[in-house]
Structure 1
Amino acid sequence: MSICINPHCSERNNHRDMLFCRTCGSELLLQGSYRVKTKLGGGGFGETYELADKNGKRKVLKVLIDERPKAIELFKREAEVLKVLNHPGIPKVEENGYFLYLPRNTQKHLHCLIMEKIEGLNLSKYIQQQENKPIHPKLALTWLRELTLILQEVHSQHFFHRDIKPSNIMLRADGRLALIDFGTVREVTKTYVAKKAAGDITGIISSGYTPIEQINGQAVQQSDFFALGRTFIYLLTGKSPSQLYEPCTNVLEWRYLTPEISPEFADILDEMMAHSAYQRPKNTQIILQKLDAIDTALPSAINVKRLTKKAVKQESQIKKGIRYANAWMRFLAYLTDLIILFFIGIFFGGCAAYLAYSTGFITESENLFDIGGIVWISSVCGFFPILFSLITSPEEIGTIDIVASLFGIIINWLYFISFEMSAKKATPGKQSLDIHITDLSQNKISFVQANIRYWTKSLSISLLMIGFLITAFTRKRQGLHDIFAKTIITKKFN
């Protein structure tokens, strides 16, 4: 496939051998070398794609859509900075990586930037994938040293990043880290100092990670240390710094959540997050010296290697698709849910029969077993019992049967809907097997998605389980209901 990057094109997918878009006529072979393969994301400012060069090497293409001068200035600055910086933890941009692209039938150029593709997860998604489980202090120490060395390269070129946070740090498949999103970088020049003194600097704010001087448009290189320290509080506690901040005392209460961390390591992080930039380390070299001076009370280097390997293994599993729950596992989870519903149905069936008899809704005692049984069966099987009765013997269905069936169907519906869209992201049956339901971005599903899954799953069952059987053949182990609801069933990593 070859994707057209014209944001106004109505049908952007094209055959991989085409040179011009069949819809809008814009050129598909960018810079005479690159073809866009996949759209990775997009927002109000721009779009991101994966592309391949003539040799099939994958790279990332960023396309700026925002036409405001400030947005263009930041975009150009990112290209210029990445050309200057040279570190394996920073995405590489070739000399001709920045270019202008003119779509067909328009006079407005698109600003484009081709850079190295960093494979992996950002640390925010990594922690979420771990269900907000903190990383070990020894691994944190290793990562902090690695990121400080990356910052050393940035600062040595008289730049500072201004937007360090977990989502802007990537964990590669080999365990190394990379710092991304250099669109907010500033260079320390006489012009910058003059603008800062005049208060003419645009503030870059990421809640919980931005120091007060940067909020006021007075960022310095030590502002990066503050954001880096706050990032490691998130990694070590699994909680956003905003959740740990005490406004009355102006203190971040975090140490009680990390009993395994050494006092020396905790002191370094607190120093990096000092309220005043003057109280923070003067440069990256001081941070590195203090990290080297930490005593050996933390776990051994062997444990660090093990922890890092675990992170790499999990990332490798995610990339290879091993995280998707297979058909057999999903069947066992569904069977477990039916067993649970069996007992729920017995309880509510008895309650319904008692309530109906005590209120005079039914007067004959033999109908007690009928109404209780209908509620019970419908709680387990949903609308299939009443549907079967309507097909085979509609003349025997009365008002009591319909009301009891509806009550049971509601119990069945509520059971699946409420659990699947909850914070647990799974019914009890799925929880017992450590699998959960998410949308394609690994977030919990919405009420609408839960309903689509429920009713399409019911359709799958009525079609001789065909909707379930296709889980064995789809790449992401999606059933018919998953495809319609845009959901996936994933195996949790411990």
Structure 2
Amino acid sequence: MIVTDTVLTDRYQIEELLSQKAGRRTFLAKDLQSQVPVIIKLLRFGDGFEWDDLKLFEREAATLKNLDHPEIPKYLDYFEIDEIDTPGFALVQSYIEAPSLATLIARGRKFSEAEIFELADRLLDLLTYLHQQHPPVIHRDIKPSNILLGNRSGNSIGDVYLVDFGSVQTVAKKEEGTITIVGSYGYIPLEQFGGQTITASDLYSLGMTLIHLLTGMHPAELPQVDGRVKFNAEISKRFERWLEKMTHPHLDKRFDSARVAQLALKSEDGSYGNFDRLKPAHTQIRLYRDRNQLKITWQEANGVVISVLNFIGFIIGTLLFFVTILTIFMSLYILITTLPGIFSLMVVPAFFCSFLLSAVLIIKWNSWLEQIRKMTPKESYGLVINNHYVYNSRNHRNEYKSVKLSQHLRSQIEILAYNPGYTFNQCLDTNGKLIQGSNTITIPPKLYLYCGNFEYSFPAHFSSTKFSQAELWWLGQELSDFLNLELQVIYPTPKVPPAPSCGGGC
């Protein structure tokens, strides 16, 4: 039995038992060589011992030995204990003199949003370091009792430490994950219960820890709806949305990495992803967003002016065509009536010259018409969403006009849907027979936004601009992120010609 003042390996003098559970004990001790306090973790063989315990213990020692970070305990020593009554292994690591978050909560300590924001930032820095190791180091047991705070001064939260790597996992790939279920109930995500933990699992645990600090309640005591924890706290809407994404039960809705989560936490526009990579290189669409507003705009020539120009172009083109025909017939008439002897020699050049003149005039006119179109004053079209309104904007000759479409808050927007568009070369009926008249059916891509009775789509019915699939997918991701709304992909049923009918006589 190891008691106070026991000296291990003639070097480490036990001073105090800090914690114990089946097969494991943690002691505060003194290194007699350096005269500094250390932490000794002891794994004992005996009742309740399992080989998985030894595997985790050895993994913790190996992990700490390879890490070098000021906010993580340092590996100092590892040795076997041969005493008859206490056989086992001991891990020695540096001692950090600071209370845990769990201790501070028990003392009644309250944390402001600014303090929790700073704590999240510091821990995400630390998780980025761990997750970028080769292979990634996944803590798997982030909770208030494993986070220490020390040297608080002024408005700073102080020094932040992450301790207890007894549940650590080091895997290079998701499919290589351990089947050992570790962690603390309420702080671990669903996939960790299945024994397949990834780096995003640590983000969930961190998010739950922050929620515990905000509410003062253990996460297991908070209500859940569809697997998502519901909590009330007087924090900004933006921070609340960030926490919801950190603790989303589905991995594909959670942040991909600690670095992405940190960028989202500190971003000026509240963006939770780098969507610039989705933006097509030559798009004419302009997108601006900050924490409170999203604005999508593009420019088009005045539709009425373009219609008038097209009409004039059609009239002049038609006149040129008839002039060309008339010129040809007049040339033929002159050749036949005045110079019948040389008709066969002149008819081909006459035709050629008449056709060439007509072609030059038509090409020249089309060039002039295109220049006129480019000089036509542009109008800005677009959609603006802020905290209070959704409205369509138009800017004609520098006069800003807005058409209010909805007074719903942006959080009340219900559906965001994307139709990628498709083309059918043929349609078959339920019997597998080709439907006549259905050789080619094309559905263009569209992006829809529904808010109550209000529907807005890209491209809008009044717009002459055609949006590509890539442009609509990019806009859809930006809107989904800004609205915190899932982008639904839909495939509408195409309209096809009715099957031939036999008038009721079949």
Query: Structure 1-normalised TM-score?
Result: 0.50
Query: Structure 2-normalised TM-score?
Result: 0.48
Structure with the higher fraction of residues in strand conformation = 2
Structure with the higher fraction of residues in helix conformation = 1
